Chains A and B, each alone.
Chain A
Amino acid sequence: MSFILSLLSFMIIGASFVLLVVRRDRYNYSLPELAALSFFLGVGFASYQLFLYYLFGIAFSFLNLIIVPVVLFILVFSRYASKPERVNELLPDISGFQRWNRTEHLLAAGLLIQFLWAVFLVAPMPVSSHDAVANYALKAKIFYFTGGIPEGFFGFSETTVAHPDYPLLLPFLMTWIYNFIGFNDLAVNMVMPVIYLAFMVLVYSQMKKLFGRQYSLLSVFILATIPQLVDYATIIHADLILAAFVTCATLYFISYIRTGDRMRLVFCSLLFGFSLWIKNEAMVFTGAFIAVFAVFIAKSGAYVRKQKLGDMIVSFAIITAVSAPWFAVKISSAALNTDIVFSRLTPEYLWQNIKDIPILLNLFQQEVFGPKKWNIFWIMFFAGMIWKRKRLREDECFYMMIFLVLSAAGYFAGYMATTSYDLFYVVNTTISRFMLHFCGIALLILAFLMHDDVREIASFSTGGYGER
């Protein structure tokens, strides 16, 4: 029960933002979208709150934590209590509702089975995987028992805690839950299936606006049943969370490109901003997003270019405001990344990494063709790109492809700049989870590429391929 309350507190924080900021008549969200988006935004704002507590020396106690969601809840409640007719704004518009057909029921059943299977695997398992105990769960344990971030934490050596320079969203999320349930590293694991569920719900609700219900369900079914993605929904790692934030942010951006609705850009910017609290790799995605935005502006008609430039500045300002405290502390405390140390990156080191590129490619092809982690996802993706290569330059596919290529280039550059161990070790231990960061974007591209063919040949309702 306490665990559910802790999840609700995240949703209250996120929903308060959405309900207080968004006017329903301007942006029509469904209840599943509201719930999933609120959860993600709530997790982000809660991390922000805890970090501000650290900066102002406020303890991470239960009462200090819940004061924000409680105040926000009172604000939202009083808003709707004073004008009860506005409660209708919260209810979904079901006027055009059509009953689910057999295919949709089967796909939904498959998704439910997959989710319950993840819960079944997680429920009896205490925190135990390598990175969880070395990094995320250990930090959460430290924060919870210290009642905050201990002094000198960002200068701790790798012997004390792995990667003190890593962003803290996941440890904060766990610390928050511990404040509700007490220290219980069995129950806290359950947050991962919840994140997995919210990820799928948010992708589905966004895709449903771009395509039809059935096609969106099919796409989400493919994404949700990727073995690697499910594996990461059962362990305390930040990779699934990063994939969720980056994929959903990209979907909101695509939605913004199509409609010009600034609210979607705000959600996109917030999700990109909060992704910087999840993993250092988010810097690559955020950089790629800004570059893609610049390309979008350059391709826009002259009469809207100024307006789009204004939107980009707002977006950049949101990302900066959200991520600034973290980077300010990270830079001022000189928390070091031990994987990429630029002072050690000599031309010899770089040349050695370049010579090892075949090793990287070999491990990459093992990921692509090995079904154990990815089923045939990457084979489908690359085959789809070859088959529908002309479409890659059209519409949203164009922007998503640039985003994917730039981000992948960023990761590749990161591998080339690795100075900690030999490239084989680094790639071998990271490539499968790094590819997880990209699989949501890849699925979106595949969905856009195959949309017409699936509609044409499969007696399959894919929707009108337009914003609703």
Chain B
Amino acid sequence: MITVNRRVNKRAILKAVFAAWLVLWMFFLIREDKDGQYGGLRYLYTHDHGSKVRYIIGDKLYGFLVFCRQSIPEGSTYELAGFERFSVNKVRARYFLWPLKNVEGDADFRIVYGREDTEPEGYKEYKQYGGTGRILVKEERNR
């Protein structure tokens, strides 16, 4: 009798565990996350590649990066400024801009996203992109 009861209990426990698994699985599968994934997916499914990238990294940054890519000569190196440390936008910019090479110090160009409080030494204004950002060039390069 005890064995039967233990077996029934085990069965009930296992069924409850599997039911809990299924309920949580379905819930987290279809639940919309905090970023509103369904709206985003609808947009991504109905737009071309460039628009998808623009949507993901944001209009402002996308426009600025396209401007940088068109303005900076191939084979150049650059530094990034104005991005938060470890921010996803910073690494997206680096990915987007390759084959332009992001280096640390002594770069041909300095890409400033937003405002930069101090004026870096040895660089001068190269191009502006509205109020979004600007590109500085190393002074000796323009001599």
Give me the interface of A with B, judged by CB distance under 8 Å.
Answer: 114, 117, 120-121, 123-130, 133-134, 137-138, 141-142, 145, 157, 159-162, 186, 222, 225, 227, 371-372, 375-376, 380, 453-454, 456-458
Contacts and interface: CB of A to CB of B under 8 A. Distances in A.
Interface string B42-57: 0011000100110011
Contact of A186 (B24, B41, B52): B52
A159 B14 contact: no
Contact of B102 (A126, A159, A376): A159
Contacts of A145: 98-99
Nearest to A429: B86
B10 interface: yes
B101 interface: yes
A376 B44 contact: no
B21 interface: yes
Contacts of A371: 24, 28
A124 B88 CA distance: 20
B24 A375 contact: yes
Given A186-B52, A457-B14, A121 B41 contact: yes
Contacts of B10: 453, 456-457
A375 B28 contact: yes
5 contacts: A125-B56, A137-B95, A142-B98, A145-B99, A227-B25
Contacts, number: 89
B103 interface: yes
Contacts of B104: 157, 159-160
Given A160-B103, A222-B21, A125 B28 contact: no
Contacts of B14: 453-454, 457-458
Nearest to A129: B88
A123 B49 CA distance: 12
Interface residues of B, number: 32
A244 to B, nearest CB: 20
Contacts of B41: 120-121, 124
A215 to B, nearest CB: 12
Given A125-B44, A127-B95, A453-B10, 8 more contacts: A114-B29, A128-B56, A128-B92, A138-B98, A142-B99, A376-B24, A380-B21, A453-B14
Contacts of A160: 94, 101-104
Interface in B1-51: 7, 10-11, 14-15, 17, 20-21, 24-25, 28-29, 37, 41, 44-45, 49
B66 interface: no
A375 B19 CA distance: 12
A138 B52 contact: no
Interface of B: 7, 10-11, 14-15, 17, 20-21, 24-25, 28-29, 37, 41, 44-45, 49, 52-53, 56-57, 88, 91-92, 94-95, 98-99, 101-104
Across the A-B interface, the 4 shortest Cβ-Cβ residue pairs: A124-B44, A134-B91, A133-B95, A159-B104
A376 B18 CA distance: 10
Contacts of B99: 142, 145
Contacts of B56: 125-126, 128
Contacts of A130: 88, 91
A456 to B, nearest CB: 7
A133 B92 contact: yes
Contacts of B15: 458
B83 to A, nearest CB: 12
A420 B90 CA distance: 19
Contacts of B29: 114, 117, 225, 227
Contacts of A454: 14
A85 B138 CA distance: 72
B65 to A, nearest CB: 12
Contacts of A141: 95, 98
A380 B17 contact: yes
Nearest to B48: A186
A376 B17 contact: yes
A145 to B, nearest CB: 6
Nearest to A146: B99
Given A134-B91, A456-B7, A372 B102 contact: no
Q: Which of A137, A138, A145, A456 has the most B CB atoms < 10 Å from its CB?
A: A138
A120 B37 CA distance: 12
A203 to B, nearest CB: 18
B63 to A, nearest CB: 17
Contacts of A126: 49, 52-53, 56
